[in-house]
Amino acid sequence: MRRDIFQAISDPTRRAIIVLIALQAMTPNAIAEHFDTTRQAVSKHLRILTECELVKQEHHGREIYYSLEIDKMKEIDKWLEQFRKIWETRFNQLDDLFLTIKKQKK
């Protein structure tokens, strides 16, 4: 089952997991230590993130390490870029308006 990537990152716990494993690969137990929830709940979040290909699993002996899938994050950033440009344009227009108002008051 392919999950929607934006639905996956809409959950604050999953976003926090992404932040954690962006720094270094971690086991589910190590990730769970950072949350006030069960290991099973963290595993469910990891499964969703894995299904969306936001994280990848690597086996080292008996342990499974989860790490961030950078290319997938780049896809999200690329999609968001269009909105970033709109926001920047609007902020610049707002700055220009404030400068005009300020000049008119003088």
**What are the tens digits of pLDDT across the range 3-60?**
788 889 999 999 999 999 999 999 999 999 999 999 999 999 999 999 999 999 999 9
In angstroms, the CA 63 to CA 65 distance is: 6
- Cα separation of 68 and 104, whole Å? 52
Average pLDDT for residues 75-89, to the nearest whole number?
89
* pLDDT exceeds cutoff 70 at 65: yes
Class of domain 1-68: mainly alpha
Give the confidence band of 1 by pLDDT, cuts at 50, 70, 90. low
The SS3 of residue 46 is helix
Check residue 32 and give its pLDDT: 96
Q: Quick one: pLDDT at residue 2?
A: 65
- Domain definitions of the chain by residue range: 1-68, 70-106
